Amino acid sequence: MKTIKDIAKEANVSTGTVDRVIHNRGGVSKKTEGEIKLLLKRNNFKINIIARSLALKKNIKIATLIPNFNEENIFWKAPLMGINTAQEEVEIFGVKVQNFAFDQFKVSTYLSQFKALLDSKPDGVIIVPTFRKETQQILLKLEERNIPYIFLNIDIEGFKNISFIGQESYKSGYLAGKLMHLCLQDECSVMIIQTRSSIDDNHAISKRISGFTDYFSDNKIVIRSIKVNTYNLNHSNTLKEKFGSVLKKDPNIRGVFVPNSKISIFADCIEDLKTQKLSLIGFDGTEQNIKCLKEDKISFLISQKPFKQGYNSIKLMTNYLIEKKQPQAKVYSPLEILTKENINFS
């Protein structure tokens, strides 16, 4: 299905020029106007979308509720960029997107930002359901108002979301277990680093850990898992002391598994401590993670195309609200394995 951006590219004009032709605003040469109208006619489906959205005689509001990002937690920059890119493309249909960001470690911000979102009276919502208990509460309010919603990145069963867009978390953890096994000898230890006081708050993280440990038990591989909880990621000296103590206590540790996008923080700390080769496996191709991968501090990264997740969430919700087109229940991202050798080609 072609978009206005595709038509503009094919006609070698700007999206604004295509917009002027669609709405008969003038200011376009007869020749160019004729070429654009021909392309629009060939893609009548898109013209129907425009006509239908205009017939609604109102702007359509899509609101997103996603974690914020900073230098230490850069992952959520990519989905937001995808959302903003899609927003530019759906504006022609009268769709407005408003983003609400929360601190993924502070439930109070999750609730306060949801309240602001609800006050904006959206027609559809994209939400990252980070805190399970509170998610149950706030989704009831969306359902009471018949506001459709899509889960992004984190999938929780038992709700009435029209779709989920993201990685299959359990299988991604299982894949991480297989990759770790390729790196290790049997009968050694693996450190699993957790950055939340309760992994149940983040369903994706808990499923990754389950998949990782299940790989070894399913294949009857003797690997001892040592779970290390660390919540303050801003003090490298404290982290080094903690990891140094764990490595000293169990010198048989040969691998480190980080079930989130923050592996670069730990890779830099562990690099100064290790006395033997350690295999590190984590998630997401953030700039910091890629740097550590290239420096051989990380063995493997499992990527999930976060930009595309954000982009697709807006396009799917737009199609649902305007065309009443029911999206797939699950839109899974590919499990892409990144290595030092292939990173420049991914």
- pLDDT tens for each residue of the chain, 346 residues long: 567 788 888 889 988 888 788 767 788 898 898 898 888 888 764 555 655 555 555 689 999 999 998 876 788 999 999 999 999 988 888 899 999 999 988 999 999 999 999 999 999 999 999 988 899 999 999 999 999 999 999 998 889 999 999 999 999 999 999 999 999 877 789 999 988 655 455 678 889 999 999 999 999 998 888 888 886 777 777 888 888 888 888 888 899 999 999 899 888 888 777 666 889 999 999 999 999 999 999 999 999 889 999 999 999 999 999 888 899 999 999 999 999 999 887 6
Distance in angstroms (rounded) separating the CA atoms of residues 68 and 233: 16
**Whose CA is closest to 3, among 56, 32, 53, 45?**
45
When divided into structural domains, the chain yields a total of 3
Residues spanned by the domain of 260: 169-303
pLDDT at 132: 87
Q: Flag whether 339 is in a domain.
A: no
Question: Is the overall model pTM greater than 0.75, yes or no?
Answer: yes
Torsion of CA 213, 215, 220, 222, to 10 degrees: -50
The two structure tokens encoding residue 135:
């998610």
Q: Flag whether 46 is in a domain.
A: yes
Distance in angstroms (rounded) separating the CA atoms of residues 213 and 134: 28
Edge-to-edge order in the sheet of strand 149-152? 95-102, 60-67, 124-127, 149-152, 163-166, 330-332
Identify whether residues 229 and 178 lie together within a single domain.
Answer: yes
Q: Flag whether 119 is in a domain.
A: yes
Identify whether residues 218 and 297 lie together within a single domain.
Answer: yes
Helices (H), 234-301: 236-249, 263-271, 287-294
Identify whether residues 24 and 91 lie together within a single domain.
Answer: no
SS3 content of the chain, % helix, strand, coil (to 5): 50, 20, 35
CA-to-CA separations, 317 to 39, 60, 83, 277, in angstroms, rounded: 25, 10, 11, 47
Question: 3-class DSSP state for residue 50?
Answer: helix
Task: Compute the Cα dihedral for 69, 75, 78, 80 and give only its sign.
Answer: negative
Is residue 125 within 8 A of residue 117, CB to CB? The reply is yes
CA-to-CA separations, 208 to 70, 186, 285, 335, in angstroms, rounded: 24, 21, 17, 12
Q: Flag whether 77 is in a domain.
A: yes
